[in-house]
A and B are shown apart, each in its own frame.
Chain A
Amino acid sequence: SAVISQKPSRDICQRGTSLTIQCQVDSQVTMMFWYRQQPGQSLTLIATANQGSEATYESGFVIDKFPISRPNLTFSTLTVSNMSPEDSSIYLCSVDTGTGDEKLFFGSGTQLSVL
């Protein structure tokens, strides 16, 4: 298993600003994932972050809007840049511990509201 600490838990931001979300894992993991959950909706994968390489973004998400860092095997950040009200969502960090069973462990999420 993996214990994931994600912060901030929630934030209210002004339009045009940026917010960086941090994700800390209690063990070394290869794969880290960032998901967005828009109000009342399901989870959509933003990008996959591997240590030592550029993040891989899903269709509809771009690095300029959602830059990701992965400096080591236990930590990652997601920045939501130049925010607009449409960015108001829950952002979730998750990891695959690499045991081959494809289970995901999640952080507690960041509730972002953009005014």
Chain B
Amino acid sequence: AQTVTQSQPEMSVQEAETVTLSCTYDTSENNYYLFWYKQPPSRQMILVIRQEAYKQQNATENRFSVNFQKAAKSFSLKISDSQLGDTAMYFCAFNTGGFKTIFGAGTRLFVKA
């Protein structure tokens, strides 16, 4: 079965600091896509960052970067220079190229002023 595990239900970070959210997944596929989505209190799900499994280079989007370890099936999200607007629920997800995206349970991140 394909699963996504986020072991940190809740985290907090001081504004301007760096925080890392963990994610592991399980699949027998070799090619797939990994994502981090953000859901602020407004409920709007927003794509934060995307990684293709066949690419060894870690994806980066401004203050957001990932540490993708394919052999370990690990896909962590690092948020640098945390801002108050980063307070949200963060979901790790993956898609094997079919039409079903599987989401983890989520990590609630609080950024403190």
**Chain A interface (Cβ < 8 Å from any Cβ of B):** 31, 33, 41-43, 45, 48, 58, 90, 92, 94, 96, 101-106, 108-109, 111
Contact = CB atoms under 8 A, between A and B. Distances in A.
Contacts of A96: 99
Looking at chain A's contact residues, is the secondary structure mostly helix, strand, loop, or mixed?
strand
Given A41-B105, A102-B33, A109 B43 contact: yes
Interface residues of B, number: 20
Interface string B81-106: 00000000001000101011101111
Given A48-B99, A101-B50, A102-B97, A42 B106 contact: yes
B95 A102 contact: yes
Contacts of A31: 99
- Pick the 7 closest A-B CB pairs, nearest first: A106-B45, A109-B43, A102-B95, A43-B103, A102-B33, A42-B103, A42-B105
Given A31-B99, A101-B33, A102-B95, A108 B44 contact: yes
B99 A108 contact: no
Given A42-B106, A43-B103, A108-B42, A103 B91 contact: no
Interface of B: 33, 35, 37, 42-47, 50, 91, 95, 97, 99-101, 103-106
27 contacts: A31-B99, A33-B101, A41-B105, A41-B106, A42-B91, A42-B104, A42-B105, A45-B100, A48-B100, A58-B100, A90-B43, A92-B45, A94-B45, A96-B99, A102-B33, A102-B97, A102-B101, A103-B47, A104-B45, A104-B47, A104-B101, A105-B47, A106-B44, A106-B45, A106-B46, A108-B43, A109-B45
Contacts of B47: 103-105
A53 to B, nearest CB: 13
Nearest to A1: B47
